[in-house]
Amino acid sequence: MGDGEPDRIFELQEEVHQLKEAVTSHAVVDQAIGMVVALGRVTPDEGWAVLKEVSQHTNIKLRNVAEFILIWGRTGDMPPEIGAALEDALDRYGPTQLPGTPTE
């Protein structure tokens, strides 16, 4: 084994870890887009735009917004600021309001 080999192994392990994180993150975002598409009756492109908008308006990372949406899908719980931003974004893109949200 050369002197630099343990460092190279560490670098490769880090790279694998980062790739796994990216794949997981991508899957979470895709699932959240799927929920937005189904519940908001929007296209996948609009679902992506809705997620980005919610992320920008709440200043919460896109992946975290996606995680909150998936948790909401399982438990019905969502932080109010995300729910409000999601409702606003879907008003711009979609024909209906979210199920289970009060009407104004």
For residue range 3-60, list pLDDT tens digits in order: 678 899 999 999 999 999 888 889 999 999 999 999 889 999 999 999 999 999 999 9
Return the pLDDT at 104.
46
Q: In terms of pLDDT, which residue wins out, 71 or 3?
A: 71
Range of the domain at 61: 43-95
**CB atoms < 10 A from the CB of 87, how many?**
16
Domain for residue 22, yes or no? no
**pLDDT above 80 for 101:** no
Is 46 in contact with 96 (CB distance < 8 Å)? Answer: no
Q: Is residue 8 part of a domain?
A: no
The Cα–Cα gap between 19 and 21 comes to 5
The total domain count for the chain is 1
Instruction: For residue 7, tell me if it sits in a domain.
Output: no
Indicate whether 99 pLDDT > 60.
no
Say what the pLDDT of residue 100 is.
Answer: 59
